[in-house]
Amino acid sequence: MQIEISKIPVQEAYQWMVSLVAPRPIAWVTTLSSTGVVNLAPFSFFNVFGANPPVVVFSPTLKRDSTKKDTLIHIEHHGEFVIHGSTEPDIEAINASSASFPPEQSEVAALGIQTVPSVLVKVPRLADAPFALECRLRQIVPVGDGPIAANLIIGDVVMMHIDPRILDNDGKVDPRRLRSVARLGGEHWCRSTDLFQMVRPG
């Protein structure tokens, strides 16, 4: 089977892309509105891309009516955000926070999620997250201008918060304790419980 992208509708391209490139990690992102409302939403167009400096990229796409999502609007305004790990205990809340809340309503307040102040950015972080990455905006790269068009938010990680409960006895992250979840196509999610190890060739 072959599909030439220019011959299919955007929505179909989206379904193929998210079903084929899977699983994708989920950034659970807090931002702050210009009136001080804490916004929370998940984004699976997300990954890390280097460590010198540590850099993350995620993409709040344009909505079906081509308008911007609140997360993008807030980052354009303030240039700060916090990315949290998405793990098994939080799957219901992660999913619930993706609903279309009006900008003046805080997802954290509506869902009863506790926040605490961050250290280097003004955006609060989630108190019980397994880890939180305080980020400062480096660059926004809009790609396209219609529904589901990408907005690559490139951010420098300036501060990491790591819950010691996800660490092993050597102080390294234990994936069995972290229990990351990820997104696949359609309504599929997955756990990171079927682990194996391989030694890299020298």
State which residue, 137 or 167, has the beta carbon closest to ligand FMN: 137
Q: Least Å distance between CB 1 and ligand FMN?
A: 25
Contact 100, 30 (CB under 8 A): no
State which residue, 45 or 80, has the beta carbon closest to ligand FMN: 45
3-state secondary structure of 55: strand
Q: Which residues bind ligand FMN (CB under 6 A)?
A: 26, 39, 41-45, 59-61, 69-71, 95, 98, 100, 183
Residue 115 and residue 127: Cα distance in Å, rounded?
Answer: 5
Residue among 132, 160, 148 nearest 28 (CA): 132
Contact 42, 28 (CB under 8 A): yes
Q: Least Å distance between CB 201 and ligand FMN?
A: 33
State which residue, 73 or 167, has the beta carbon closest to ligand FMN: 73
Q: Report CA torsion sign: 77, 82, 87, 93.
A: negative
Q: Least Å distance between CB 43 and ligand FMN?
A: 4
Q: Least Å distance between CB 168 and ligand FMN?
A: 27
> Which tokens in the block code for residue 69?
């999502």
State which residue, 64 or 168, has the beta carbon closest to ligand FMN: 64
